[in-house]
Structures are given as structure tokens and as C-alpha cells.
Structure 1
Amino acid sequence: MNTFKAYLKKEMLESWRQYKYLLLFIGIILFAILDPILLKLLPEILKSKINGDLASLIQIDMKSAVQNYIKDLNQVTLLIVLLTLMGSLSDEISSQKLIFPYSKGANLSSIVIAKILHYAVTILIFIIFGFIINYYYAVTLFSENIIAFKNVLISAALISIYYFFVIILLMFLSSIFKKGIIAALLVLMLHIISALLVNIDKIAKFIPYNLISLANSFTTENILTTIFSVLLYCIILSLLTIKNYKNNTFA
């Protein structure tokens, strides 16, 4: 427990000093504000370039504003998160920073768990805050096809769980590869593959990306199966990460 508290504090201090909080905040919150505003301005921007009735060409409502934010979380924000966190574990392994703390009794399992929970909770807070902001702007700017706030919060929770999986997957791959950029690229590749596999009905509910699909459609079909599957993957990957971390630290 002492190791967990110490390294949780260490991660918080380093994230503050290295502007990781700022990068994550901008990557998640910025689009929450910009998406509804840009969608509202889009018809006016295109009016001078496109002849005809734009209302029939572009259907923009409150639901589409939230869905556009989910799309950005699934694309640009994901890239920002990966680039920000990609060296969190691999740098310590490659530089062998933990040999001395371990010799003094530090628990490596607690270190890994502290890293995972720190970033998972940070992103959870930012995502929920982002959805609240996005909902406010979307409801303010658009009056059609309103989604209940509780459904938006469910989508926020699903996105957060997916990011929890992404963080653990990134940590796992970082425990294998010495360069964080390789781990980040592999996570991005698996993210794309997962997006393709979710189109296969028989296995969709077991695919992590299904959380994104459910969040985007504001439905709860097979939601528990997907959540339990993803949490199981997270547990397995966490255990493998701890094992690799111990092996590579003293390799």
C-alpha cells in the first residue's frame, strides 16, 4: 500500500510537471466545446459555396452533435492520449529506474496498478466533464432530436471503460517493447481492427470497440456482455503487464 501511494503521488507530480494533464484536458474537452459550435456554423459556412436548400442536404440536430463528439473521442482524442501516455511504462523499463526502489522493498505490482488507475481515473473525470459540457452546448444550440441526459452519461461511462482498456493495453505493450511509439502504434492498429471486427454480429458483443458503437447509438443491447468481456481482458492484460514488468526490469 505504501508503494501504491508513493507512486500514485509520483505519477500525479510527473503528469503535472510534464503537462500531461493539460494535453489530456485539451484533447478531451476542446472537442466537447468546438463540435456543437462548428456544426451550428456549418450551414452558414457552406451557404456561400453551395447552391440550394442546405436544410435538405445537411441534417444537424442535438443527437448528431453528441455523436460527432464521440467520433472525435474515438479518433483524434485517442491519438492524443496514446502519444501522451506512450512512454509512461516503457521509459522506466528501458532506463531501469526501478532497480533501486525495488531493492528498497518497492512492490512492482503496486507501481503498475498505480500507473493504470491514475491515468484511468484522470481520463474518466475528463470524459465525464467533456460530455457534460458537450451536452450543454448541444442542447443550447440545437432543439431537435434531444437525447436524455442519463443516456449521454451512459455513453460517457462506456467510452471511459473503453479508454480504461486502451490504457491497460498500452501499458501491456509498453512492457514488451522498449520504444513507447511502437506500443502506441500497435494500440492504434488494434483499435482499427477492433472497429472492423465489431461488424461481425456473432462476435461483436465480445469486441471492446462495441463499447464505442453502443455509446454512439445510445443503446444498451448486449451492454453487460461487452462490459464484462472488456473487464476480463483488462484483468488478464494487467496480470501479464505486471509479469512482464518484473521480468524486464531485471533482464
Structure 2
Amino acid sequence: MSQWFTLLQKEILEMWRNFKWIWVPITFILLGVQKPLSAYYMPQILGSLGGLPKGAVIKIPTPSAAEVLIQSLGEYTSLGVLIIVLTSMGLIAAERKSGVAAIVMVKPVSYRSFITAKWAGSLLLMWFSFLMGYLVTWYYTGLLFNWIPIGEFFQSFFFYGLWLTVVLTITVFFSSSLKSPGMAGFISIAAVIVFSLVSSSLSHWLEWSPAQLTTYANEILMKKGISDGTLPASLLSSFLIVLLLSLSIFVFRKKELAA
């Protein structure tokens, strides 16, 4: 176990050296603050652009606090997922390509510890960044519109974060399987897009899909409560995470032994 913590500390330190602990949370915070501010100041922004007839009045329906939070979560579904993939696609692929992984594995380091420590380091960074960004969204939404109960905030945060964890684990799997970080990132994004599209198109039949967790998080904010499909989707997400991690270890071991 001490070996695993040593590898985890090494991974966290490496992310500090690459400034990931700075720019990734800042990026998530910028994503989080964007929607509340733009929704609140949109009439003024449009009015300042000019070109409107004299005496024209811009009337834009004021969104509810829940709608603002849901729109902000939509940013994490698109740009947030992209950031997660970009920051994790080279976790293992880049080290295999450079030969660093082979050097590390010469030492008495288990394949399981190597993969899971890297995954855990990226997981800590992802959850921390998402928490910072979503907290900023919640704060500015409450300040400019209305306050969402903190319980509903954390419930939606947890289920949305669970889906982002699935995205991260998919990326780690392809990073373990391929030597090219770019190819690992491209296939990961493609897989997430296909997964999401199929789940949304067949939502009545795939209520248990991990991609549906984004919908269930939105329903919590809209005060519809926790949907019946939330628990099965959460359990399947957890199973998928464990399965992909196990496959990552298996594939990485095979490729390293064959090298």
C-alpha cells in the first residue's frame, strides 16, 4: 500500500510541475462563472451592441436559478469533458511512448498500482476542479438570481461528477491501450459522444445508462426529486469504472510484457 501512495504522491507532484493544479481549476471556474453573468447581463450586453431602432426595449425572460445551473452544467458536458480528456489522454500513453513506463516497471512496481495511482491522481484533480467551478456557479447564481438549496447542489454535483469519472476512466483505458496520446484522446472523445448520443436517443430504454446521470442531476435542480433510474445508473457507472480500470491494467500488462 505504501508503494501505491508513493506513486500517487509522484503523480500529484508531477501535475504540480505541469501547473495542472492551477490551470485546470481556473478553467473550470471560468466555465462556472460564465453562464450566471451572461444570463444576468444579457439585456445590457445586447443594448450596448447598438443597431436597434430608437425606443426599442429588449425584453428577455429571466431564467430561473435552476435553469442557470443546468446551462452551466451543460458547459461541463462539452468543454469540461474536453478538458478532462486532454489532461488525461497522455497519462499512460505518453509514458509508454517516451519509455518512462518501461523504466518504472523495471522496479518492483505492480501494474495495478501504476495504473490506479495515475487514475486516482487525475480523479482528485477532476473532482477538485469541478467542485471549484460548480461552487462558483452556485454562488453567482444565488447572488444574481436565487439560491438553490445546498442539498440539491451537492446531489447534482455528485451524480454529474460520477459521469465525469466515467469519462476519465474511459480516457485512461484508451491511454493504456495506445501509445499515441492524440489517438487515445480522439477515440475517447468519440466514444463519449457516441455513448451520450445513443443514451439520449434511446432514453426510454436506456434509463440505466451512465450518460443519463446528467439528466438526473438536472431533474434534481428542477425539484423533480431523485429519479427511479438514478440508482441503477449510478451502480452501472461504478461497475463500468471498475471494469475499465481492470481492463486497463490487463491491457497495459500484456503490452508491456510483449514489448
Q: Tell me the TM-score normalised to structure 2 length.
A: 0.88
Pair 1:226 & 2:233 matched: yes
Q: Are the structure 2 counterparts of residues 223 and 49 from structure 1 closer, same or farther at C-alpha, using a change threshold of 3 Å?
A: farther
CA distance in 2, matches of 1:91, 1:43: 47
CA distance in 1, matches of 2:230, 2:212: 9
Q: Name the structure 1 match of 2:100.
A: 97
**Amino acid corresponding to residue 207 of structure 2 in structure 1:** K
Q: Say if 2:199 and 2:206, in contact at 8 Å, map to a contact too.
A: yes
Q: Please give the per-residue CA displacement for 1:215-241, whole angstroms capped at 9, x wherever unaligned.
A: 223242111100000111111111000
- TM-aligned CA deviation for residue 89 of structure 1: 1.0
Q: Name the structure 2 match of 1:241.
A: 248
Q: What SS does structure 2 have at the residue aligned with 1:60? A: coil
Q: Name the structure 1 match of 2:177.
A: 176
- TM-aligned CA deviation for residue 130 of structure 1: 2.2
CA distance in 1, matches of 2:255, 2:6: 22
CA distance in 2, matches of 1:77, 1:2: 33
Q: Are the structure 2 counterparts of residues 112 and 68 from structure 1 closer, same or farther at C-alpha, using a change threshold of 3 Å?
A: same
Which has the higher mean CA deviation after the structures are superposed, 200-209 or 106-115? 200-209
CA distance in 1, matches of 2:251, 2:7: 18
Q: Name the structure 2 match of 1:23.
A: 23
**Among 121, 136, 140, which residue is 1:137 paired with?**
140
**Among 208, 213, 216, which residue is 2:215 paired with?**
213
Query: Identity percentage over the alignment?
Result: 21
Q: What SS does structure 2 have at the residue aligned with 1:75? A: helix
Q: Say if 1:120 and 1:163, in contact at 8 Å, map to a contact too.
A: no
Q: Name the structure 2 match of 1:163.
A: 164
- TM-aligned CA deviation for residue 207 of structure 1: 1.8
Q: Name the structure 2 match of 1:154.
A: 155
Q: Number of residue pairs matched?
A: 248
RMSD (Å), alpha carbons: 1.9
Which has the higher mean CA deviation after the structures are superposed, 237-246 or 116-125? 116-125
Q: Say if 1:195 and 1:209, in contact at 8 Å, map to a contact too.
A: yes
Gaps spanning 5+ residues in structure 2: where?
none
- TM-aligned CA deviation for residue 17 of structure 1: 0.7
- TM-aligned CA deviation for residue 10 of structure 1: 1.1
- TM-aligned CA deviation for residue 49 of structure 1: 5.3
CA distance in 1, matches of 2:205, 2:24: 32
Pair 1:36 & 2:39 matched: no
Q: What SS does structure 2 have at the residue aligned with 1:175? A: helix
Gaps spanning 5+ residues in structure 1: where?
none
**Amino acid corresponding to residue 197 of structure 1 in structure 2:** V
Q: Please give the per-residue CA displacement for 1:124-164, whole angstroms capped at 9, x wherever unaligned.
A: 12222322221111011014xx5322111111111211111
